[in-house]
Chains A and B, each alone.
Chain A
Amino acid sequence: MIVENTGKVVLTLKDVSIDFPTSGGLVHAVRGLSLAIHEGRRVGFIGESGSGKTTTALAVMQMLAAPGFVSNGEIQLGDTDILKLNEEEMRKTRLRRVSYIPQGAMNSLNPVMRIENQIWDAIIAHEGNVPKAELKRRSDSCLESVGLPARTGRLYPHELSGGMKQRVCIALGVSLNPELIIADEPTSALDVVTQRHVMQTLKEVQSKIGSGLILIGHDMGLMAQSVDELAVLKDGELVEHGTVRQIIENPKHPYTKQLISSVPLVGGDSFLDDSIGAPPVNRSAGSEPLLEFDNVSKTYGDVTALHPMSFSLDGEVPKIISIVGQSGSGKSTMGGMMLGFTPPSTGRVMFEGADINRMNPSASLEFRKNVQAVFQDPYACFNPFYRVDHALKFPFKRFGLSQSENHTEEKMFEACTAVGLDPSQVLRRYPHQLSGGQRQRLIVARALMLSPKLLIADEPVSMVDASLRATILKNIYDLKDQYGISILYITHDLATAYHVSDYVIVLYHGHIAEAGPPKEVIGNPQHPYTQLLIDSIPWPDVNRSWGTSASADEDTRTLAELSRNTQTVFRGAVPGFDLTIPGRLENAA
């Protein structure tokens, strides 16, 4: 744990412990944490949800949520003992000396105030009356420092994109040149391209004003690309601390190793076990393709969510088809149409030759039995009123698969064991008593129990802690190999799509940008959009250059250009899956 010391110390945490008294007893959120942050250094706090990283940051701001308190230790900001300050002194310290960019900061802007007024408010709160012209000059320079034009100040928050709002929050955070900036998952709600832009902006401003930076996050890749030092937290304890190079290249603690290995790499070793189990059973019914899109498009008013496309997937050999894209690219719309939740504006969605939007009740029940889904949010998928086994038992009985109560019970146990859960531990619990990872695995177990022919997995791991993602993806992958289930994997994460899929479709603004086998599309992208996406993925590799904010600006312009004119690049076909863009000459490569 040797960290070279440069510059003076801006923040010292000495043996800090934070406790939360609850009706269930005292919860130790942070235990004996000691750390020093130097001027101009970027320190990453990494750990899973509940590891105490945000709690520590909030303690530095004296903003701990109600029952929590610092039970032990010292927090020194420069020469000031933070814990000894009263409310008024602390108010003056916040933003002036230490600023906090909260999680989802883009929602913390006041929607009825212009951007510049919000910056002025901050300045006036700390410096009293400042002449209008001076305020204007400072807010403009603030915005320019994060790469936004000065006229942004005259706009209201809703007129800005997510990435711009996040940069405004950074501008606010640095408006008084604080000694320390705390950024709590500043890019958690942004897609990779915007994430890179925002992180580069943050790095640049921080090095310009020379303050310390605490970056809180859970993504080892993002950390590797953005910080100098890394502090790994687990269950409120600091398990490893060192320079980012030390930690990534030579992790000591098993938990750190696990965090690093859980980041899937494009082209790297697969996290999947290649030993294929029993050969998949042929489950196709007749000669009709399993799923077919016939000239399908979707428009919402004037907005086209999905441009016309046709494809057919036969279930002969189970396959994983990945649909990749940023938020708003139309990938979830596609998923909704496949499940029959969203009727298409034109064209037909067919399952085994029948239009799924024109089915009689019994055919519809049969369709439901054969097409199941895993959704993004494992917290919302269980009815809080019932124990979790309700979600598994009910469909099993409803689809007439159950032979007896014992048979249902047996199948549930089998499915839970297959996804690595202990059935006697989880099944009789209520959803809030399980972690997100356990819930998501139960949903996979549910799919397994029903054994559908097709599974739509819509961002199945995006809300699960990093260390569990690989496990859950592996569970899903096993569905294909061992149970012969074809899977449509909808994701924004190209790296996982690279490993699990047989065919990849890259969507951009409802257009197909590039499509083909993953080794081609993701391994060697041809379309500028795919290239941009891949360049923007943060990798846990300190030597890789992640570009500068100028290059990111350039990329944003390229993107805007692309949204007007997207030519699909076909990168080869996979037997059993045909994709065509109607009304356009095929330019298959």
Chain B
Amino acid sequence: MTDTTQSSNQTGPTVDSAAAGVVDTSMASGRFNRFDNPWLNPKLIWGVCILGGILLLGVIGQFIWNTELVFTGSTPLKLPPFGFENLRRQEGLAEFPLGTDGAGRDLLALLIVGTPNTLMIGAVASLIGMSTGIFLGFSAGFIGGRVDDVIRIFSDVMITIPPLLILVVFQSAFGDVSLFMMAVLIAGFMWQSPTRLIRAQVLSMRESGYVKMAQLSGASTMHIMFREMMPNLIPYLFGSFIANVTTAIVTAVGLEVLGLGPQRIPTLGRIIYDAINSGALIQNLWWWWGLPTALLAIMFIALLLVNLGLDEVSNPRLRKM
């Protein structure tokens, strides 16, 4: 009897589970993993491509376009994009293809310099927030006890404080801030939900069989946290990171539109602030506020696509047949 089971088992699991594995969901997801690479997911590819395009605009733009044009008065005022007319019947010029703003700054140059800045704030804020979240979440979940209580209560209290309100106060107190300072301030409101979520994940993983196995194997706490648990959180951490980038950008743009961002460095929010402040809406200078807004919208769609794609990577059930 023993012989028959052994030989039938050794004919290979591929045959076994292709014929079987209908009732068992874990087997079903196994089949997925074997046949398609989850990372080659159309949503993920589109999102990454659009984001990459926006970034390229910033990187290549610095070399092929004159970024000196971001300074006040370097171009004629309020010119429309090339091929359009403004209310004063001025034609757009090919030298300034996306038009110019009320203070004589070239809009293309503004976007080339401003877009990477905005993305940078988002990424840095999210990175700091996530790192803090990972550190605190793992500590709370793994060490437990008093440490867990302190971290949990602190993050629960912090999560109830509306970030914009505090940031407005901070920014107005600091006056002119640098991009990095701004990112750090926003990150101060980015770490709570990753902390809570990672803590929950760690708590459930800590009871799982493979963590027990690692303990039995004499693995150190660091090994268990970063070599056994962390890899399984990677898709989730990526997704959370991207979601946080979105939130951070929204917060940053919100502050900038209120005029509370960096004063001397062009960002997308700053352009919109200037546009609103100079009555661009009434004067129908649509390109001034419209182009940065559209760029922001595209950026958010790309981030959303990346997030949805990552969701499907980490959760096979969402994948289509």
Contact = CB atoms under 8 A, between A and B. Distances in A.
B16 interface: yes
Contact of A22 (B12, B20, B31): B31
Interface stretch (B41-49, B53-61, B215-223, B241-249): B215-223
Contacts of A471: 2, 5-6
Interface stretch (A44-52, A91-99, A561-569, A575-583): A44-52
B19 A383 contact: no
B210 A381 contact: yes
A422 B208 CA distance: 27
Interface stretch (A106-114, A298-306, A428-436): A428-436
B10 interface: yes
A254 B232 contact: no
B19 A28 contact: yes
Contact of B213 (A52, A369, A391): A391
A23 interface: yes
Contact of A50 (B20, B210, B214, B231): B20
A379 interface: yes
B26 A379 contact: yes
B95 interface: no
A434 B16 CA distance: 9
Interface in A456-475: 467-468, 470-471, 474
A381 B23 contact: no
B34 A470 contact: no
Interface in A366-385: 368-369, 372-373, 375, 377, 379-385
B231 A365 contact: no
Interface string A389-426: 00100110011000000000000000000001110010
A398 B214 CA distance: 10
A433 B30 contact: yes
Nearest to B32: A23
A50 B6 CA distance: 18
Interface in B225-251: 228, 231-232
Contacts of A470: 1-2, 5
A23 B35 contact: yes
Contacts of A207: none
A572 interface: no
A68 B215 CA distance: 41
Given A23-B36, A365-B218, A395-B217, A435 B13 contact: yes
Residues of A in contact with B, size category: 35 or more
B18 A27 contact: yes
Contacts of A377: 209
Given A435-B16, A470-B1, A471-B5, A27 B212 contact: no
Contacts of A425: 10, 12
A262 B17 contact: no
Nearest to A376: B209
Given A262-B1, A375-B212, A23 B321 contact: yes
A115 B145 CA distance: 39
B219 to A, nearest CB: 7
A457 to B, nearest CB: 13
Interface in A311-358: 339, 341
Question: Which one of B19, B35, B217, B232 has the highest number of Cβ atoms from chain A below 10 Å of its Cβ?
Answer: B217
> Which 7 residue pairs of A and B lie closest in terms of their CB atoms, listed nearest first?
A50-B20, A380-B209, A395-B217, A432-B30, A385-B231, A381-B209, A383-B210
Interface of B: 1-2, 4-6, 9-10, 12-14, 16-24, 26-36, 208-210, 212-219, 228, 231-232, 321
Given A20-B22, A471-B5, 12 more contacts: A50-B16, A50-B17, A236-B19, A254-B4, A258-B1, A369-B218, A381-B213, A383-B210, A383-B231, A394-B219, A398-B218, A432-B33
6 contacts: A23-B36, A51-B20, A236-B19, A375-B212, A437-B9, A438-B13
